[in-house]
Amino acid sequence: MGDRVVRVYLYSANDLRVLFPGEASKTLEKPVERMVAAKLLLRVARGLYADNLAVPYHQPSVIGDVAKKLRPESFNYLSLETALSEWGVISQIPLSQLTVMTTGPSGLHRTAFGVIEFTHTKRSVASILESTVASAERPLPIATRKAAIRDLRRVGRNVDMIDWSEVDDDA
């Protein structure tokens, strides 16, 4: 009924340790490298791997799944240029780049599925939940138009690309 099917296909280095109990971190590197060489695993980012046979390559949500796995301890949501593009407020579509606000640290991750830019926010999770929309089709909630513009201004990004005719007056 529209619920997103959760497939486990991404594994952190810690997740892989479960598959090799008793292996030291250093000795675990060799079997992981062999699986990467055999194309059973795909190195997605530093310390993050994908089951090459289970990755839903055709789904645009893959990069969002990667973002969630890179920051599992943080609350993350789509915002800035990614959200504004999805809402039709900017005409530029960031291809292969995801802009994510996070309660965790800022950082840029070049992954096998595109670039993920995490930008730290000091907003509370309760405040974030009030200004985001979740959907079963995407792994991360998305900021409302107003919240994405507020985030863009708050982090000092360029607002010149915004089509203000697509924005409510109270944004």
Q: Are residues 47 and 121 in the same domain?
A: no
Q: Are residues 111 and 147 in the same domain?
A: yes
67: containing domain: 62-166
What is the pTM (predicted TM-score) of this model?
Answer: 0.86
pLDDT in tens, the chain (171 residues): 455 555 689 999 888 888 777 777 777 888 889 999 999 999 999 999 999 989 888 888 899 999 999 999 999 999 999 999 999 888 777 777 899 999 999 999 999 999 999 999 999 999 999 999 998 888 999 999 999 999 999 998 878 788 777 776 555
Q: Are residues 26 and 86 in the same domain?
A: no
Q: Are residues 40 and 114 in the same domain?
A: no
Residue 20 lies in a domain: yes
- Find out whether 67 and 59 touch, Cβ atoms under 8 Å: no
Q: Are residues 79 and 98 in the same domain?
A: yes
Q: Are residues 34 and 66 in the same domain?
A: no
Give the pLDDT score at 169. 55
Residue 3 lies in a domain: no
- When divided into structural domains, the chain yields a total of 2
Give the pLDDT score at 116. 97
Give the pLDDT score at 1. 45
Q: List the structure tokens of 114.
A: 């595109």
Relative to beta strand 76-78, strand 107-111 is unpaired
Q: List the structure tokens of 66.
A: 């990667």
Q: Are residues 15 and 78 in the same domain?
A: no
Q: Are residues 33 and 71 in the same domain?
A: no
User: Is 86 in a helix, a strand, or coil?
Assistant: helix
- The single residue listed with the structure tokens 């390559």 is 57
Q: Are residues 20 and 67 in the same domain?
A: no
